[in-house]
Amino acid sequence: MDKDILEIELDEAERKAHNALARYKFKMFGYWAAVWVHLNQIDEHKEANPFKELVWKAQEMRERIVR
């Protein structure tokens, strides 16, 4: 896949994932986040996961609930 096209697709998937999450569309967030991860895996130049902080926050919240 062409680097410019891949970069555009990564940006679009990230934007759509954040947009879905902001609108409480959790299934769509998961879909677009998974698209982003898949595109990043096929890219030669791996990008940092833009959802990492969200995952960390969810883990912190889970820790508080489990206690």
pTM: 0.86
Phi and psi, residue 33, nearest 5°? -65, -40
* CA 1, chain centre distance (Å): 20
Extents of the domains making up the chain = 3-66
Average pLDDT over residues 32-39: 98
Who contacts 7 (Cβ-Cβ below 8 Å, separation ≥6)?
A: none
pLDDT band at 2 (very low <50, low <70, confident <90, very high): confident
What's residue 49's pLDDT?
A: 97
